[in-house]
Amino acid sequence: MEGALRAIRTVKASRAEARESERVISEATESARQSVRAIRYESVAWTVAGFGIGLATLLILGLGAWRVSENLLTVSALVAFLLYAFQLMEPVGTLTQTVSGLQSGVAAAMRIREVDAFEIEPSDTDRPSRTTTEGRSTLTFENVTARYAPGAAPALQDVSLTIPREGHTAIVGPSGAGKTTMFSLLLRFLNPDSGRLVLDEIPLPEWSLEDLRRRIGYVEQDTPLVPGTLRENLLYTHADAGEPALWEALRAVRLEDRVRELPDGLDTVLSTAAISGGERQRIALARALVSDPEILLLDEATAQLDGLTEAAVHEVIARVARTGAVLTIAHRLSTVIDADQIVVLESGQVRARGTHQELLQTDDLYRDLVAALRIATQV
């Protein structure tokens, strides 16, 4: 459950809410069964231990009584010995029980609070599906203002933007500028306060969540893998993909040879395998590629990744951008420079738009951001 919640954006974007709920419930049932078994064992253990303690007491009493009858021990000394022994036993037992009880209580309360904060149910599954319209239509933001809570400061304010249905659009801007909010709006994790988003000439709310999210490949920044095997991860968004599609996606992210070398291949359990940060990113990319997405949302990892991963990210962007729209939250200079269109966001507003060369000449903030990325790249 923790794994699913950490990757909650991937779960929702993959329309896997029902699958995840089912998995969690079946594991919870199994856990309940095991708990009952554990309690049964515990009761047996306590009974045996209680019997042992009783037996030991009897032995001490027997031995003590014999020593008293032989005048080797006074009755009062025997009674005092027994009382001290009993008095020590109880507080030590209570202390260990209380400490372990307290620890598991605190941990459980924290998890429950985390679960409370997320909404895992699909929001509108029975809305009728709309089919794709033909033609080279675009994805547009029309005067979009969005807030995370009523009355809160807007995370995006009056944003109007056209994203071509082919090519690579990079979003740059300081932290808190609203980049992630744009992705959340596209995936409908969040609805705009005013204005609208339109995909293929149909406003976003008229798409069913299922159809909308099916068309979008989404790669989260930090926690892109879900618990399970490599195959389960690759099939996560499109469960009906065939094995050749999986290998093709792995080839595209330069992981094919690495996976073929693993003893269990696609059935390797990821938590047990030694997988680097870069490889995790590439697996997440491969998952988005399995279905040939029309729109790829890529939140680029900020961590320093290896050269192979960086090259793989580039190839994937170029490949998807030939036939679809790639939208990146770019954290690497090389990603920004290659983009067909760069959008500079600042404080929830679009500050400038253009190519790398145009923006270098016209926008101060862009120049600063590029300088910062250049330094980060050199480190």
Residue from the set 50, 105, 176, 203 that interacts with ligand ADP by CB under 6 A? 176
The CB-of-374 to ligand ADP minimum distance in angstroms stands at: 20
Measured distance CA(218)–CA(52) in Å, rounded? 61
Comparing CB distances to ligand ADP, the nearer of 182 and 230 is: 182
The one among 69, 87, 131, 175 contacting ligand ADP by CB under 6 A:
175
Is 300 one of the annotated active-site residues of the chain?
A: yes
Binding of ligand ADP at residue 180 (CB under 6 A)? yes
Stretch that binds ligand ADP, among 63-71, 130-138, 170-178, 306-314 (CB under 6 A): 170-178
How many Cβ atoms from other residues are within 10 Å of residue 218's Cβ?
Answer: 25
CB closer to ligand ADP out of 189 and 247:
189
Judged by phi (left if over 0) then psi (alpha if -120 to 50, else beta), residue 163 lies in beta
Q: Which of 327, 124, 134, 131 is nearest to 211 (CA)?
A: 131
Minimum distance from residue 316 beta carbon to ligand ADP (Å): 21
- Mapping DSSP onto H, E and C, the string for 124-193 reads CCCCCCCCCCCCCCCEEEEEEEECCCCCCCCCEEEEEEEECCCEEEEEECCCCCCHHHHHHHHCCCCCCC
Q: Check residue 178 for interaction with ligand ADP (CB under 6 A).
A: yes
Cα 365 to Cα 274, 299, 330, 361, distances in angstroms: 41, 21, 15, 11
Dihedral of CA atoms 239, 242, 244, 248 in degrees, nearest 10, equals: -30
- Output 176 or 242, the one with its CB closest to ligand ADP: 176
Task: Please select the residue that binds ligand ADP; options are 13, 177, 230, 317, rule is CB under 6 A.
Answer: 177
Which of 10, 14, 169, 181: binder of ligand ADP (CB under 6 A)?
A: 181
- Do 224 and 7 touch, CB atoms closer than 8 A? yes
**Cβ 148 to ligand ADP shortest distance, Å:** 3
| Span from 160-168, 174-182, 201-209, 284-292 in contact with ligand ADP (CB under 6 A) | 174-182
Is 350 an interacting residue with respect to ligand ADP (CB under 6 A)? no
Contacts of 91 (CB under 8 A, 6+ apart): none
State the minimum distance, in angstroms, from the CB of residue 10 to ligand ADP.
16
Determine how many CB atoms are found less than 10 A away from the CB of residue 117: 9
Does position 6 bind ligand ADP by CB under 6 A?
no
Query: Is residue 238 a contact residue for ligand ADP (CB under 6 A)?
Result: no
Q: Which is nearer to ligand ADP, 8 or 290 (CB)?
A: 8
- Record the tokens describing residue 7, joined without a space: 């990757």
Say which residue the tokens 């909404």 belong to.
119
Binding mask 113-152 for ligand ADP (x = CB under 6 A): -----------------------------------x----
SS3 200: coil
Of 279, 294, 300, 346, the active-site residue reads: 300
**3 state DSSP class of 258:** helix
Catalytic residue annotation: 300
Q: Which spans of this chain sit near ligand ADP (rule: CB under 6 A)?
A: 148, 155, 173, 175-181
